[in-house]
Amino acid sequence: MSAELPHIPLLVPGIESSATSVTVSAPWDLTPIATVARADSATVEKALANAYALYRNRDAWLPMRERVQILTRAMGIMRERREKMATDAAREGGKPLADSLIEVDRAIDSVHICIDELRSRAGEVIPMCITESSKNRVAFTRPEPVGVVVAVSAFNHPLNLIAHQVAPAVATGCPVIVKPADKTALSCLSFVQILREAGLPPEWCQAVVTADRKDATAMVTDERVGFFSFIGSAKVGWTLRSQLAPGTRCALEHGGAAPVIVTEGADLDRAVPSLAKGGFYHAGQVCVSVQRVFTPKAMAREFATRLADAAKKMKVGDPTLADTEIGPLITPGEVDRVHQWVEEAKAAGAEVLCGGEKLTDTAYKPTVLLNPPADAKVSVQEIFGPVVCVYGYDDMDEAIDRANSLPFSFQAAVFGQDIDKLMRVSSRLDASAVMVNDHTAFRVDWMPFAGLKQSGHGVGGVPHSMHEMQIQKMTVIHSPEIKD
């Protein structure tokens, strides 16, 4: 059967790989979709050599006007293929079609943001002629590419995560090598092919699906890498960071266990639908998914019951269908893990208000737990599944302390109507961003997006990634004709 599947060839010019291909399957029904050529160690070396040779040859750098033209054409191609790209992403990644359409739109906008940044980004003039030693001088900076970018990405947003890593590299003039998640490689490879179709020379953006983790590590830690962009598990990301070559910059984006504080007097008609979306969107497989909701004890049961009622109405099913709201988890093993965590919390005293069981081998019912123990896995680790925990509190500051008690810090949220309470919670939560009367998973692609503590390093978001992928080279001109 696999011989009849579409095959995506190696996207590294000038070499053939001896590694066996990998099959990408749909997480909903485990049906094979396509096979993808994988890179062996020689392929990885060739990709690095291609990219580094471009970076070292300044005469070969792509002028900004050409980069703008390429990205503009790429946007046009993506708009023409919007529905197909969304369906393909939904099928390989499991995110429902309605949300995958939004993801494609975001990816297109991410490319647009790169173009806007190029039109507006410039260096600065450094003051001179202020002291005797600085007289007769003028100084200014201009942005230059930092070097070869190696990007390693996660499965959960198979197109837009890639756009966030690759488009800024192309925009800033950095040769880029991207390694997508094996399970969702197709959207990445499609994006790379679109860039090439839009006129980007192949060596400027290469994609590798490695056959061996050692090869991936060797690529990331190579001394020719100028910038490493990683989206994925904390364990892998922090380990790779510790092995980077001296001088390699990096940005790491991991997960968390996003907290929400619901204050007394909050509008539950507004809060419940928002938190249901933020908790069960993409079956909870989002790094800032709503996970821990702290409410006043007197309203905890009412809130949790209303959240459970909302969850029960959400349709779980085939992600390629237009009316599906929650799709599968990425693998059956993840379904088993989530169920085990829920069962452990239940045995320790958590009350299961809805869900708590497998729908199929690949999908889990959206689950609301009331007052799981503080030391349960669902309370202290990232669930990355369709499970939301609700806890009652007596004192708001105590709830803030509980929200801040984990070694993760990413986005958080607070709901209420008392501006003083909202500001108190917002200013005291450990978070890089606090959403007021909105769920923790809100994001637009031009805003900064940063994990703190164990949740990440550096700042993401398209403009911020572009900044990280550039250096500001200063030029100082000395001339007696410069008087002031």
CB contact at 8 A, 388 and 291:
yes
Residues marked as catalytic = 253, 287
- Give 211's pLDDT tier (boundaries 50, 70, 90): confident
What residue segments make up the domains of the chain, in order of their start?
2-254+455-474, 258-436
Average pLDDT for 125-137: 96
- Give 303's pLDDT tier (boundaries 50, 70, 90): very high
Query: Residue 2 pLDDT > 50, yes or no?
Result: no
Average pLDDT for 457-467: 96
Which tens digit of pLDDT belongs to each residue from 55-64? 999 999 999 9
Q: What is the pLDDT of residue 3?
A: 54
Q: Is beta strand 456-457 parallel, antiparallel or unpaired with respect to 249-253? A: antiparallel
pLDDT, averaged across the chain: 96
- C-alpha–C-alpha distance, residues 286 and 253, integer Å: 12
For residue 166, the surrounding DSSP H or E stretch is helix 160-172
Q: What is the third-level CATH fold of 2-254+455-474?
A: Aldehyde Dehydrogenase; Chain A, domain 1 (3.40.605)
Which tens digit of pLDDT belongs to each residue from 318-336? 999 999 999 999 999 999 9
Average pLDDT for 435-444: 97
- The first and second tokens of residue 344, run together, are 């452990």
- Give 484's pLDDT tier (boundaries 50, 70, 90): confident
Q: What is the pLDDT of residue 415?
A: 98
- C-alpha–C-alpha distance, residues 207 and 275, integer Å: 36
Specify the residue for token string 């202020």: 130
Choose among 344, 354, 352: nearest CA to 375.
344
> Which amino acid makes up residue 275?
L
- What percent of the chain clears pLDDT 90, i.e. is strictly above it? 98
Q: Which CATH class is domain 258-436?
A: alpha beta
- Give 169's pLDDT tier (boundaries 50, 70, 90): very high
Q: Is beta strand 125-126 parallel, antiparallel or unpaired with respect to 137-145? A: antiparallel
- C-alpha–C-alpha distance, residues 95 and 147, integer Å: 34
